[in-house]
Amino acid sequence: MSSLLRFSQLRKNIWSSCPARALMQHAGLSSGKVLDPRSYEKRHFTTRAQETASSDRSGLASCISGIQPFKFQQTSEHEQSGTILVFDTETTGYFNKDNRIVELALRDLSGGKNSTFETLINPEMKIRKIVSAVNNISTDLVCRPDVPRFSDVLPLLLAYVRSRQTPGKPVIWVAHKAKTFDAPFLAQEFDLCKAQMPEDWLFVDSHCLAMKLPKLPKTDEKIHLLNLGALSKRYGISVENPAHRAMQDVTTLCHVLQKITSDLKLTYEGLMNEAIKASYFSKVLK
């Protein structure tokens, strides 16, 4: 099946298992705000979803696109890991009220069908050439009628995440610089839609985790840098495609995160202890 799916088709698949009304209540939105699915029939655009060979969602043991299974140390034999989403955003610039998200990608580490989600997003503003030179996302690429605004993506994103969520467990979102960049941007987009991120979303900054890694012998000073490129070099992870596109950075972080959690002997409970509640980022905007 083609990796590109019409938005309406993907929405239909997700909505069949996640009723929109329940998702609206979960997100604290009323039907009069942004989650009326009928309004999206008027606009046609695409998102991308990818299937994996495995349909097993029993834990974090599924191998995805060459990404090795997560193996958290168990604090007890009854401990159950929840949903972990590695995500990345591309934006029109550094975080502030004048900049917007232009691309969003995420990967559910438990694998299975449609374990990834990515889409370009129309920021409804011009993108500076200095920014386009970094991520190859130009004004002409995203400021088009067939590219969704974040308000268009929001209901599908909520439905997608709910469809992947482990019952009774929070959703842990992991990004590199999540605390200072990706999570604040996500919270700001929700706020612009007059919505709040769900209370059971937690965010982990892999950059903060990397700061706890032991230093290596000084054979190469750059190896002690904590950006994704340096961490990939530290762990001997090859990056095939250019960085600074959302899904490529997500894939790289999945490999890096595996190594970091192993080096730090991090349990699922330990990862939870590193997490920041979604409400923190909502307060930052005020």
Residue 43 has, within 13 A of its CA and on its CB side, a CA count of 16
State mean pLDDT over 248-257: 94
Please give the pLDDT value at position 284: 78
Residue 61, pLDDT above cutoff 80: no
**Under a CB-based contact definition with an 8 Å cutoff, are residues 186 and 85 in contact?**
no
The tokens describing 252, both together, are 């790289």
Residue 70, pLDDT above cutoff 90: no
**Under a CB-based contact definition with an 8 Å cutoff, are residues 195 and 34 in contact?**
yes
Query: What does the alpha-carbon distance between residue 34 and residue 273 come to, in Å, rounded to a whole number?
Result: 33
Query: What does the alpha-carbon distance between residue 157 and residue 159 come to, in Å, rounded to a whole number?
Result: 5
Residue 73, pLDDT above cutoff 70: no
- 98-123 per-position pLDDT tens digit: 999 999 999 999 888 889 999 999 99
**Under a CB-based contact definition with an 8 Å cutoff, are residues 107 and 51 in contact?**
no
Please give the pLDDT value at position 244: 76
Query: What does the alpha-carbon distance between residue 205 and residue 257 come to, in Å, rounded to a whole number?
Result: 10
Please give the pLDDT value at position 220: 58
Q: Which of 78, 224, 244, 255 is catalytic?
A: 244
| Domain ranges within the chain, ordered by starting residue | 4-53+82-284
Residue 152, pLDDT above cutoff 60: yes
State mean pLDDT over 54-80: 46
Query: What does the alpha-carbon distance between residue 265 and residue 255 come to, in Å, rounded to a whole number?
Result: 16
Please give the pLDDT value at position 173: 98
Residue 160, pLDDT above cutoff 90: yes
pTM over 0.75: yes
Winning range, highest mean pLDDT, from 34-48, 149-163, 205-219, 234-248: 149-163
- Whether 244 sits among the annotated catalytic residues: the reply is yes
Higher pLDDT, 223 or 101: 101
**Average pLDDT taken over every residue of the chain:** 77
Q: What's the topology of domain 4-53+82-284?
A: Nucleotidyltransferase; domain 5 (3.30.420)
State mean pLDDT over 245-271: 93
Q: Helix H segments across the chain? A: 7-17, 20-27, 129-135, 139-142, 150-164, 183-192, 206-210, 228-234, 246-263, 268-273, 278-284
Q: What is the DSSP letter of 79?
A: -
Residue 30, pLDDT above cutoff 50: no
**Band of residue 278 on the pLDDT scale cut at 50, 70, 90:** very high
State mean pLDDT over 30-45: 34
Please give the pLDDT value at position 163: 94
